[in-house]
Structure 1
Amino acid sequence: MTNNIEKTLILVNLGGPRSSDEIEVFLKDLFSDRFVFDLPLPEFLRIRLARFIAKKRAPKVKKTYDSMGFGGGSPLVAETEKQANALERILTQRSGNPWKVKVAMACGFPNIRESEFTKPNTNTLYLPLYPQFSRSTVLSTLAILEEKFGECPVGSGGYVPHFGLKENFFKLTAQFIYEFFTDQLRKDQYLHYPEEKPNCDWKDLDIVFSAHGVPMRLIEKGDRYMEEVEASVKGIVGELRKFGFRGSFHISYQSKVGPAKWTEPSTIQKISELASNGKHIAVYPISFVSDHLETLEEIGEQFKELTWEKGGKTFVRIPALGVYESFLDFLAEEVLGADSSIQNCICKERGGESLRHCRFKN
């Protein structure tokens, strides 16, 4: 039996400019977010500084986007739309009910603040595509929705929690990495599919799990992001061992901006160290589920050049999960299993802070 009520799933990602015209808007949204651009300044000064930095950085960022070959913008929105289209089919088939899956971005367009993205409930669910919880990603998204609707979505029945600590996520990610190294993936489904092969048995590689860095100021406020990244990596490596992986693994952080202290070691530091010791290196983007600027340009080009410069013997970029079938099946399970059974404030537990309209606040 089906009730034929159309359900809506909204996939939320950080965002990226679809064209060069959107770069400054994207950067303004990014740096104006108090959970991302967290400084000990009065709010009016913080916002002014954020807008100044966005305007100043826009020309430099434009050059980077121009070099990527996606029309002056980021492929993130288009890649997320591919995931949305696939999930729409899977959810409709599995549930017997019609589903509509939309894409919303916290920064840039299509913007999560727009009126088409309606209040979370059992028929309108929000799924942030961040495997690990961070103040700068998950908490930021929840804060945007709280400001828009006057309540935090957690516990509403319309929120799908982050998924990077689930055992099935460990298993499917290990399977994905194994299938990549054994040439079982569909190359046409991935942007700039890496053709480099390791100059050794893949089972003996040094795999660097590179996560997006965050300022240590966020960690000091109670953000358990580093802890979650470490747990994700430990779980995935445990599953990789079952495929015969016997090499070493490392955790590092990329994309630092500004002079403040960020999570360490940086991926630049880690790759420099490994390459200088003549290691065979592969890099997997542990905190990303779609390929975009950080994976294609930073990992795929900058870190590759660094490896050769420092004397590394192998460099291989492992793609992000993208539309990997097992990943999308996993997300569909998470969506169909989502309900209002959450009975605690995950924002306080994982990010160190409850939002103002938290339904679990004492």
Structure 2
Amino acid sequence: MKGVLLVNLGSPDSPTPKDVKPYLDEFLMDERVIDVPKWLRILLVRGIILQTRPKRSAEAYSKIWWEEGSPLIVISERFTTKVRSKTALPVALGMRYGSMSIKKALQELKGKGVDEVLLVPLYPHYAMSSYETVVVKTMEVQKASFPEIRITTLPAFYKNDKYIKVLSEAIASGLKDIDYDHILFSYHGIPERHIRKSDPTSFHCKIDGSCCQTNSVAHHSCYRHQCYDTTERVKAFLNLPDDKVSSSFQSRLAGDPWLKPYTDYEFERLAKEGKKNLAVITPAFVSDCLETLEEIAMEGKEQFQEAGGAEYKHIPCLNDSDPWVELMVEWIEDWNKKEVLPV
């Protein structure tokens, strides 16, 4: 019997340092997130970061926490409920980090008689710290606890034409009530070394401004290329002028080169160049979360306006919108009936 496993990032159980600390420990101790030797990761995470970060992160979570719980969890659950209502296949929701584990989700599917699973990492782009770690963790859990279950993985869908249509139309709807001077596509940042580590050729990805435009097998696992490609595809679909669109990367750790340009620097640059009305979209996420609701919708607005900007709008992620639900159901049904996955 077939079933579907949706996997998103995860969240602390509450916006308190007590619950944020173990969540951050699991997240930051992931070797695909902080990819240094384990002894150094332990020193950095448990010896330094977790001494102060849980309190700051808990304060940030408190700003965006909903009455029902973590926005990421609530939105993912709403999305899952809608998908379930439109397919006869069992659908379970798991999180890469936190108490809603992948193991619990697979156990739920097994309890319903499922022995063949479509794994859906809820990330449009391939990155070792997001898509890849979900796949690797799921396979580890499957091997250790569910060897009878066969798993097929949905590919990164950043360039799928139907996905681009759904994303573009959602962006167009969000642009209706702002007379924008500029649209900023802000993607989650990753260390530059992750790009090179994910390059199967070991030589193509130079992050030099040209390699992302030069065709290569490396693009199948190059997060940077895929982000810029998403921007270009949406720009073409909506016929947006080149001079009103740009891409940037948010979130980074100090002392380490991450993908540039940095989003917070772009807020200041755009404002100082005379851009008064800014729209921001965060296409690395399908569900609004701490990085979109606090870092972009709140902090980003403050940074842009302090630098001289005026109107600022964060356009929500796809969340549990009906077109996004319907597209996911279409992919599920294609796999169920024809073993076909989106490209």
Q: What's the counterpart of residue 9 of structure 1?
A: 4
Question: Normalized against structure 2, the TM-score is what?
Answer: 0.82
2:95 paired with 1:99: no
Find the aligned partners of 1:64 and 1:335 in 2 and give their Cα distance: 35
Amino acid at match of 1:11: L
Q: What's the counterpart of residue 237 of structure 1?
A: 235
Contact 2:334 2:340 in 1 (8 A): no
Amino acid at match of 2:171: I
2:302 paired with 1:302: no
Which of residues 112, 117, 123 is equivalent to 1:124? 117
2:309 paired with 1:312: yes
Q: What's the counterpart of residue 256 of structure 1?
A: 252
Which of residues 18, 25, 39 is equivalent to 2:13? 18
Find the aligned partners of 1:85 and 1:160 in 2 and give their Cα distance: 19
Amino acid at match of 1:273: R
User: Equivalent residues in 2 for 1:157-306 (5 A)?
Assistant: 158-182=152-176, 197-198=177-178, 200=179, 202=180, 205-221=181-197, 222=199, 223-241=221-239, 248-279=244-275, 280-306=277-303
For each residue in 1:239-268, what CA deviation from the matched residue of structure 2 results, as whole angstroms up to 9, or x when unmatched? 111xx7676111100111232111110111
Q: What's the counterpart of residue 351 of structure 1?
A: none
2:45 paired with 1:68: no
How many pairs does the alignment contain?
A: 310
Q: What's the counterpart of residue 34 of structure 1?
A: 31
Greater Cα shift, 109-118 or 98-107: 109-118
2:47 paired with 1:81: no
Shift of 1:123: 3.5
For each residue in 1:15-49, what CA deviation from the matched residue of structure 2 results, as whole angstroms up to 9, or x when unmatched? 1113124211210111111011112x3x2442353
Find the aligned partners of 1:69 and 1:110 in 2 and give their Cα distance: 17
Shift of 1:121: 7.6
Q: What's the counterpart of residue 53 of structure 2?
A: 57
Contact 1:252 1:265 in 2 (8 A): yes
2:107 paired with 1:112: no
SS, match of residue 261 in structure 1? coil
Q: What's the counterpart of residue 206 of structure 2?
A: none
Question: Normalized against structure 1, the TM-score is what?
Answer: 0.78
Find the aligned partners of 2:91 and 2:109 in 1 and give their Cα distance: 13
Find the aligned partners of 1:73 and 1:23 in 2 and give their Cα distance: 14
Shift of 1:118: 5.9
Find the aligned partners of 1:283 and 1:47 in 2 and give their Cα distance: 36
Contact 1:81 1:103 in 2 (8 A): yes
Structure with greater helix share of residues: 2
Which of residues 126, 138, 155 is equivalent to 1:145? 138
Find the aligned partners of 1:9 and 1:80 in 2 and give their Cα distance: 14
The verdict on how the C-alpha distance between 1:247 and 1:332 changes in structure 2, with shifts beyond 3 A counting, is farther
Contact 2:4 2:92 in 1 (8 A): yes
Shift of 1:171: 1.1
Amino acid at match of 2:22: V
Greater Cα shift, 312-321 or 47-56: 47-56
Contact 2:248 2:266 in 1 (8 A): yes
Find the aligned partners of 1:157 and 1:74 in 2 and give their Cα distance: 28
Contact 1:65 1:72 in 2 (8 A): no
SS, match of residue 278 in structure 1? coil
Find the aligned partners of 2:95 and 2:19 in 1 and give their Cα distance: 13
Contact 1:158 1:338 in 2 (8 A): no
Find the aligned partners of 1:147 and 1:110 in 2 and give their Cα distance: 16
Query: Unmatched 5+ residue regions in structure 2?
Result: 200-220
Query: Unmatched 5+ residue regions in structure 1?
Result: 92-97, 183-196, 347-362
The verdict on how the C-alpha distance between 1:272 and 1:73 changes in structure 2, with shifts beyond 3 A counting, is farther
The verdict on how the C-alpha distance between 1:336 and 1:144 changes in structure 2, with shifts beyond 3 A counting, is same
Contact 1:24 1:55 in 2 (8 A): no
Percent of aligned pairs sharing the same letter:
28
Find the aligned partners of 1:65 and 1:212 in 2 and give their Cα distance: 17
The verdict on how the C-alpha distance between 1:168 and 1:217 changes in structure 2, with shifts beyond 3 A counting, is same
Find the aligned partners of 1:44 and 1:113 in 2 and give their Cα distance: 27
For each residue in 1:150-173, what CA deviation from the matched residue of structure 2 results, as whole angstroms up to 9, or x when unmatched? 39x9xx553222211101111111
Contact 2:124 2:157 in 1 (8 A): yes
Contact 2:65 2:71 in 1 (8 A): no
Find the aligned partners of 1:60 and 1:72 in 2 and give their Cα distance: 22
SS, match of residue 158 in structure 1? strand
The verdict on how the C-alpha distance between 1:286 and 1:90 changes in structure 2, with shifts beyond 3 A counting, is same
Find the aligned partners of 1:149 and 1:27 in 2 and give their Cα distance: 24
